[in-house]
Amino acid sequence: MATTRAQPAGTELPSPAPTPDAKTDLGPSRPRRKPRPPRAKAARLLLWALLGVVSAAFLYPLVWLIAASLKPRAEVFDNSLIPRTFSPENYVQVWDQLPLGHWVANSFLIAVLAATLVTFSSAMIAFGFAYFRFPGRNLLFGLVLATMMLPGAVTMVPQYLIWKNLGVLGTWIPLFGMNLFGSAFYIFLQRQFFLGLPRELFEAARIDGASYFGLFRRIALPLSIPSLVVIFIFEFQASWNNLQSALIYLNAGSVEGFTAPLGIAYAMTKYSPTNGGQGDYQYVMVATLLITLPMLVLFAFGQRHFIEGVATEGRKG
């Protein structure tokens, strides 16, 4: 899967399809074979060397993290990528040191709720924009896109006060409640997908007596499972990584009630010697690795979707 070329699906320009020839440097010059072979070879070597160096730089922190999580306290800082003393017991002790199980469970439940809600609400809203004709549709859809530009800092305080006045502070509702109302980028993605479905499909179902909601539930949703999955994993990642909301809504509560990011932030401080800790950073490293792994697994399964999704975000601009 890693080597499939993600491009063709999304390219809008009538550029030549990725023929095998398109893979070579600057296109043609290959068959002629004449022009300056030694220099071309050197350039190729340099290219690979550069790519290798950059890869090392990008991988180093992750490898370092794995190594550090396997070291005893005294060696965490020694920067060797192979621990001199292996201490896999970190992986056992960490569960007593930190309420990691609670954090992961909280984060997981919140992420599942957030992702499920936003997937269905966005799909429903997108179907409204894609299938039905009603006055002001284009204007409203323009507004949907415009909300993507609104900086979160502006609505942070009033949203907190709205949740407070609704009496739901101290619950998880503020962490995913907004997802009931859809999310602009997902609405945009899902609408694109719905617009690609042949309209005759829906007309035929109408003639057979399907209701409007029936069209959505029995035709639109089942046909769009691939794009719904994309939205789900996108939101799952966003929720799993969300620190700021947890800081606002959960920080005052008990440590067991933290999400994973908030928990790690807490642990980073807890073991710090300036806070009376022992400098047991190996536990922080284990916890950090354990909350990163689910994202890497998610990426392994959906990497094409992540990369295409980001590219789409750029294309609409």
Partner 1 sequence: MDVPARRSARRARPARIKYNRREALAGYLFISPWIVGFVVFMLGAMAYSLVISFSRYNLATNVARPVGTANYARLFDDPKVATSLANTLFYAVMAVPLEICVALGLALLLNRVGRGAGFFRTVYYLPKMTPAVATAAVFLLLLNGNTGAINQALGFVGISGPQWLIDPAWVKPSIVLMTLWGVSGTMVIFLAALKSVPKDLYEVADLDGAGSVRKFFYITVPMISGAIFFNVIVLTIAALQVFDQAYLLFWRDQTSSSPEASLFYGIYLFQQAFREFNFGFASAMAWVLFVLILLISLVQVRIGNRFVYYEGEKR
The structure tokens 């800082």 sit at 77
Distance CA 144, CA 67 (A): 45
Task: Decide whether 34 or 58 has the Cβ nearer to partner 1.
Answer: 58
If we measure between CA atoms, which residue out of 238, 243, 267 comes closest to residue 119? 238
Taking the complex as a whole, the smallest distance from the CB of residue 209 to partner 1 amounts, in Å, to: 13
Distance CA 303, CA 290 (A): 20
Contact 287, 263 (CB under 8 A): yes
**Which of the residues 80 through 119 are near partner 1 (CB under 8 A)?**
none
**Which of the residues 180 through 209 are near partner 1 (CB under 8 A)?**
180-182, 187, 203, 206
58 binds partner 1 (CB under 8 A): yes
Task: Decide whether 96 or 207 has the Cβ nearer to partner 1.
Answer: 207
**Which of the residues 271 through 300 are near partner 1 (CB under 8 A)?**
272, 275, 281, 284-285, 288-289, 291-292, 295-296, 298-299
Residue from the set 105, 112, 124, 223 that interacts with partner 1 by CB under 8 A: 124
For the CA atoms of the chain, what is the radius of gyration? Answer: 25
Distance CA 185, CA 147 (A): 9
Residue type at position 63: V
172 binds partner 1 (CB under 8 A): no
Residue 61-80 contact track with partner 1, rule CB under 8 A, x = bound: xx-xx--x-------xxxx-
Task: Decide whether 93 or 304 has the Cβ nearer to partner 1.
Answer: 304
**Which of the residues 214 through 273 are near partner 1 (CB under 8 A)?**
216, 237, 240-241, 243-244, 247-248, 251, 260-261, 264-265, 268-269, 272
Distance CA 312, CA 134 (A): 27
Taking the complex as a whole, the smallest distance from the CB of residue 96 to partner 1 amounts, in Å, to: 20
143 binds partner 1 (CB under 8 A): yes
Tokens for 262, please give them.
């908030």
Taking the complex as a whole, the smallest distance from the CB of residue 140 to partner 1 amounts, in Å, to: 7
DSSP 3-state assignment of 1? Answer: coil
Taking the complex as a whole, the smallest distance from the CB of residue 129 to partner 1 amounts, in Å, to: 6
Contact 119, 228 (CB under 8 A): yes
Tokens for 204, please give them.
């035929």
12 binds partner 1 (CB under 8 A): yes
Residue 15-34 contact track with partner 1, rule CB under 8 A, x = bound: xx-----xxxxxxxx-----
Using CA atoms, how far residue 141 sits from 12, 118, 187, 188, in Å, is: 21, 17, 9, 9
157 binds partner 1 (CB under 8 A): yes
Contact 227, 190 (CB under 8 A): yes
Distance CA 125, CA 191 (A): 8
Taking the complex as a whole, the smallest distance from the CB of residue 36 to partner 1 amounts, in Å, to: 13
Task: Decide whether 97 or 272 has the Cβ nearer to partner 1.
Answer: 272
